[in-house]
Amino acid sequence: MRYLFLHGVLAALPLSASAFPHVAEGVATRLTSASPRRSEKRTVTFDPAAQLVDVTSEHAFVPPNFAAGDQRGPCPGLNALANHNYLPHNGVAACTDITNQTVSVYGLGADITSFLAIYGAIFDGNILSLDPGYSIGGPSSVYQDILSGLGLLGTPQGLSGSQKKHESDASACRGDLYTSGNDYKVDINRFNEIYALQSNDASPSYDLDVWTGHRKERFLKSKNENPEFFYAPFAGVIASTGDFTFPPRMFSNKSAAYPDNGILDKDILKSFFSINGTDDNLVYTEGYERIPANFYKRAIGNEYTIPLFMEDPFSFASKFPEMFSMGGNTGESRQLRRARSGELDGRDLQLCGSAGGEQSLVFCVPGLVGCGSGCPEGWLQ
């Protein structure tokens, strides 16, 4: 199987470049030579009463009942919301609920969450509904009833079935579909890799620097070990950035001492990634992502919005410009191939559903609107 590779198009970000071959280097240079806005002091005030996340009574932790059809998938943030009844416990949620709850529980910006929720409904759920939404795990029988779907776009696959559209290779702690056979459960080896980066530290804190190092290692390992490695325009370059910035920005516990970035220690990390056990014997239980007790979210008014999200690539770019590449291996590990601008012709930008194979579809939406990496499932059937 042969893939086409496009080097560093960030069309959905305000970083787009005019010539493709050296975009990654160019973007990285521009990012690292500019001054990050985070260095400008922002005043963030800690308000314990407003920031404490309720994990008692109706929001007490209840694990999923998979036998009864509950869905959990690749996103620890959404899995935890369903386990605490901030989203429906069955794991099938409306966009409006996903948007409201990610803002109110974690302090995610309304701009980011609205985009993610609608993107999810289009590519992983059922947008043709009075109440569009999607499963945070795999396909669910409650779709048609709850979301009033007409079935015109085929059976929605949910986030777990969103490979290349939403879910990517080189994830933070999930496996690559081709090499692991599963891309939505935690791969304990990958979790061990990030965990080990602070395990001997006197005061472990998994901050953005730590996640940046992990991202670099994850990308290089996938590129070197997965012959079918693919880093899609949206799922890879953009959405995958969230895999590595959301934990330090939103899983970290805020306090009067650390009102802005908080501290993400070992126990909190394990709790959000559904891990128990001691340092030398970490154990994963599928679907048990849990918001810890005494967890304080981001300060009100300091939500993680697109402008803040856009600052974080400074950290990645300085240490790892290759994160701005998109493309994949050509059937052999380490054979990363990138596209030149001339290769983006009609063959690769053909309309969804035409006979070029799924890989060419990777470029149909991003090529036209620059924000996706595939088509709603029904368009492919």
Residues that bind ligand HEM (CB under 6 A): 74-78, 98, 102, 106, 108, 113, 116-117, 120, 159, 162, 166-168, 171-174, 186, 239-240, 242-243, 246-247, 250-251
Closest CA to 323 of 212, 190, 175, 197: 212
CB of 356 to ligand HEM, least distance (A): 24
Q: Which is nearer to ligand HEM, 115 or 344 (CB)?
A: 115
Q: Which is nearer to ligand HEM, 252 or 360 (CB)?
A: 252
Closest CA to 287 of 269, 274, 271: 274
Q: Which is nearer to ligand HEM, 72 or 174 (CB)?
A: 174
Q: Which residue is nearest to ligand HEM (CB)?
A: 77
CB of 350 to ligand HEM, least distance (A): 26
* H/E run at residue 278: strand 275-278
CB of 355 to ligand HEM, least distance (A): 28
CB of 134 to ligand HEM, least distance (A): 8
Q: Which is nearer to ligand HEM, 179 or 240 (CB)?
A: 240
Q: How far apart are CA 118 and CA 165, in angstroms?
A: 13
Q: Which tokens is 336 given?
A: 């990363």
Q: Which is nearer to ligand HEM, 102 or 330 (CB)?
A: 102
Do 183 and 167 form a contact (C-beta atoms < 8 A)?
yes
Q: What's the chain's length in residues?
A: 381
CB of 35 to ligand HEM, least distance (A): 27
Q: What is the DSSP string of 153-171?
A: T----TGGG-BTTTB-SS-
Do 374 and 365 form a contact (C-beta atoms < 8 A)?
yes
Q: What is the DSSP string of 245-270?
A: HHIIIIISBP-SSSTTT-B--HHHHH
Q: Which is nearer to ligand HEM, 7 or 174 (CB)?
A: 174
Q: Which is nearer to ligand HEM, 17 or 282 (CB)?
A: 282
Q: What are phi and psi of 24, to 5 degrees?
A: -60, -50
Q: Which is nearer to ligand HEM, 147 or 186 (CB)?
A: 186
Amino acid at 313: P
CB of 269 to ligand HEM, least distance (A): 10
At 107 the three-state DSSP class reads: coil
Closest CA to 121 of 85, 97, 86: 97
Closest CA to 171 of 231, 227, 129, 118: 231
Q: How far apart are CA 90 and CA 130, in angstroms?
A: 19
CB of 112 to ligand HEM, least distance (A): 7
CB of 185 to ligand HEM, least distance (A): 9
Label the pairing between strands 327-329 and 281-284: unpaired
